[in-house]
Amino acid sequence: MSLSFRHDVDAVLADASRENKPVLLDFSAAPM
Amino acid sequence: MWPDPRVEKFVEENFIPARVHVRADSGLFQKYSEKYGAQWTPTILQLDPKGEERHRIEGFLPADDFLAQLMLGRAHLAFAMAQWDDAERRFREVVDRFPNSDAAPEALYWAGATRYKGTGDGSALGATAQAFRERYQETPWAKKASVWG
């Protein structure tokens, strides 16, 4: 299993509001 | 912390996961680090459905501690949304599954507060104070609970 992080944060916040679902927002500097 | 399958499963089941990378998403990183005051990496925020921050994890944690913090934050989210039964269950799950984590005494405190908020039963606070006399005595949460009984 590998998490699929979204990067379109504006859209994520809109989806969260519409779906009434919390958001986990990761500020990362990890090697890519 | 992220490669742990328990962490990934918990996040998948409880959140919409989003990431801004300091280099790959530099514009978004700047925008949202300013909005939420995230000045270090890694910083992991748990936001309620309205985008309000409810829990923050700064810096690396081993997988068990990270999962405990994620569970604690998810419980705080339920608390903020006045979902008392769900919040209390989640706080107590942190204590039960990760009793030696830093998250556990905080979760024990808030489990008692949540029971009281949900039921109005003041004995929930006394029971929590009693629980702190038996464990986690050296933590700030024991001091906070000491006024309850």
3-state SS record for B95-118: HHHCCCCCHHHHHHHHHHHHHHHH
Q: What is the pLDDT of residue B3?
A: 80
For chain B, the average pLDDT equals 97
The percentage of residues in chain B with a pLDDT greater than 70, rounded to a whole number, is 99
Q: What is the pLDDT of residue B107?
A: 98
Q: ∠ CA(A8), CA(A13), CA(A18), 5° rounding?
A: 125
What is the Cβ-side half-sphere exposure of residue B120, based on CA atoms within 13 angstroms?
A: 0
Strand, helix or coil at B20? Answer: strand
Average confidence (pLDDT) over B118-123? 97
Distance of CA B144 to the CA centre of its chain: 17
Q: What is the pLDDT of residue B1?
A: 65
Residue B2 reports pLDDT greater than 90: no
Name chain A contacts of B24, Cβ cutoff 8 Å. 32
Q: Judge whether A25 and B44 are in contact, CB under 8 Å.
A: yes
Average confidence (pLDDT) over B94-102? 98
Name chain B contacts of A4, Cβ cutoff 8 Å. 17
Q: Is A14 on the interface with B (CB under 8 A)?
A: no
Q: Is A5 on the interface with B (CB under 8 A)?
A: yes
